[in-house]
């Protein structure tokens, strides 16, 4: 692929929830900071909500109290939003991405770079989001899937949207199959309060981001049961071990999992009351049923839908993921939350030596 434009570029963010809105702000602030001729458009599917955003210059539902940058435009018209976009950012929840992208695909330029922000597996196929994106765009445009795969990247890291919206200092990772692509995308989103690192490990970066949601559900359950820090640190550490096993089996790298998009994101999500996955777990741990938790949640907790797909993927690759397995069993109503700890601690002792 040739170098992406150093000069003018048009960026479109699809999805005006908490992360899409926040990341659009990052991109717009980054362009102003760099003095670059980049335009950033945020697309949302609800025309009324988008009109309100345009009028009030805020997205009060998802990022309350945050002013949108003057340079950011908003639209609910897909063709207008995507017209001429060099970089298309997908900030749509994992289970909705395929259907939405199928609608958007005819308006996506055949040489665009696509960046996925979602942290989930598609439950019907077990595919990662970069795989879904390449598959859908190949089907719609006739450009071969491997060409889209080369231009499809992921951004992941300890990135709780609300903290970034408040411009609290944060680091992240952009992973792309080719370093040049990752570096271009990183330049597009490097803002005074947001520092992207780059790598070429798309698989490891995606797996770290999506499995930590499942581990955060388990840590949330510990909080709901009022267990202390030993329990939570044990789940986080062993959670990282099983995440790393899965990532390596799929071709990811250990260094990715010990970095920002592995350990970094796990620590942030499992420690924060801002995390929707942690919150969902805490409510389960406090005794709510899954249906009650889902009713109580107003934003996406990806781990709930992704957990069974993660387990299925792990089984297909012969990877042992006991925490994920236990969380899935709780979600299916097979293991009551008070039996989660005995289930995990009562497993056969193995001679794992210093790998633990």
Ligand X SMILES: O=C(CO)COP(=O)(O)O
Residue 216 interacting with ligand X (CB under 6 A): yes
Question: What mask, x for binding ligand X by CB under 6 A, covers residues 117 to 136?
Answer: --x-----------------
Give Cβ neighbours of residue 353 (< 8 Å, ≥ 6 apart).
Answer: none
Q: Is 149 annotated as a binding residue?
A: no
Q: How far apart are CA 4 and CA 181, in angstroms?
A: 7
Give Cβ neighbours of residue 311 (< 8 Å, ≥ 6 apart).
Answer: 321, 324, 325, 328
Partner whose binding site includes residue 16, from ligand X, ligand NAI, none (CB under 5 to 8 Å by kind): ligand NAI
Binder of ligand X out of 277, 306, 324, 335 (CB under 6 A) = 277
Is the Cβ of residue 181 or residue 277 nearer to ligand X in the bound state? 277
* Catalytic hit among 25, 212, 305, 350: 212
- Taking the complex as a whole, how short is the minimal distance between the CB of residue 45 and ligand NAI, in angstroms? 4
Partner whose binding site includes residue 293, from ligand NAI, ligand X, none (CB under 5 to 8 Å by kind): none
Residue 232 appears among annotated catalytic residues: no
> Where does this chain touch ligand X (CB under 6 A) — which range of 83-91, 173-181, 274-282, 285-293?
274-282
Residue 196 interacting with ligand X (CB under 6 A): no
Residue 261 interacting with ligand X (CB under 6 A): no
- Taking the complex as a whole, how short is the minimal distance between the CB of residue 301 and ligand NAI, in angstroms? 8
Binder of ligand X out of 170, 199, 234, 269 (CB under 6 A) = 269
Is the Cβ of residue 119 or residue 128 nearer to ligand X in the bound state? 119
List of residues contacting ligand NAI (CB under 6 A): 15-20, 44-45, 62, 91-94, 96, 99-100, 117-120, 159-161, 299-300, 302
Is the Cβ of residue 1 or residue 49 nearer to ligand NAI in the bound state? 49
Helical axes 322-331 vs 202-224, angle rounded to 10°: 60
Q: Which residues bind ligand X (CB under 6 A)?
A: 119, 158-160, 213, 216, 265, 268-269, 275-278, 302
Binding-site positions for substrate: 119, 276-277
Annotated catalytic residues are: 212
């Amino acid at each position: 692929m040739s170098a992406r434009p150093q000069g003018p570029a048009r960026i479109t963010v699809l999805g005006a929830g908490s992360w899409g809105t926040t990341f659009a702000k990052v991109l717009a602030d980054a362009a102003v900071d760099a003095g670059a001729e980049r335009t950033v458009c945020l697309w949302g599917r609800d025309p009324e909500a988008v009109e309100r955003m345009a009028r009030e210059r805020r997205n009060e539902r998802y990022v309350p109290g945050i002013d949108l940058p003057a340079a950011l435009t908003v639209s609910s018209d897909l063709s207008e939003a995507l017209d001429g976009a060099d970089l298309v950012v997908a900030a749509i929840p994992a289970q909705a991405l395929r259907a939405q992208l199928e609608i958007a695909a005819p308006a996506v330029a055949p040489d665009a770079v696509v960046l996925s922000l979602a942290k989930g597996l598609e439950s019907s196929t077990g595919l990662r989001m970069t795989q879904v994106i390449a598959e859908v765009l190949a089907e719609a445009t006739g450009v071969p899937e491997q060409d889209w795969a080369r231009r499809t990247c992921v951004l992941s890291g300890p990135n709780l949207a609300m903290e970034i919206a408040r411009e609290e200092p944060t680091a992240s990772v952009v992973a792309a199959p080719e370093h040049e692509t990752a570096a271009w995308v990183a330049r597009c989103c490097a803002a005074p309060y947001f520092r992207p690192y780059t790598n070429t490990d798309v698989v490891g970066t995606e797996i770290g981001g999506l499995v930590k949601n499942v581990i955060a559900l388990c840590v949330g359950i510990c909080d709901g049961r009022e267990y202390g820090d030993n329990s939570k640190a044990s789940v986080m550490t062993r959670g990282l071990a099983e995440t790393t096993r899965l990532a390596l089996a799929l071709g990811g790298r250990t260094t990715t999992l010990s970095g920002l998009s592995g350990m970094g994101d796990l620590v942030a999500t499992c420690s924060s009351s801002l995390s929707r996955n942690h919150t969902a777990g805490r409510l389960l741990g406090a005794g709510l049923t899954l249906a009650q938790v889902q009713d109580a949640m107003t934003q996406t907790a990806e781990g709930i839908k992704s957990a069974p797909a993660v387990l299925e993927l792990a089984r297909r690759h012969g990877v042992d993921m006991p925490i994920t397995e236990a969380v899935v069993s709780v979600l299916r109503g097979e293991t009551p939350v008070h039996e989660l700890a005995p289930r995990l601690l009562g497993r056969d002792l193995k001679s794992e030596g210093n790998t633990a």
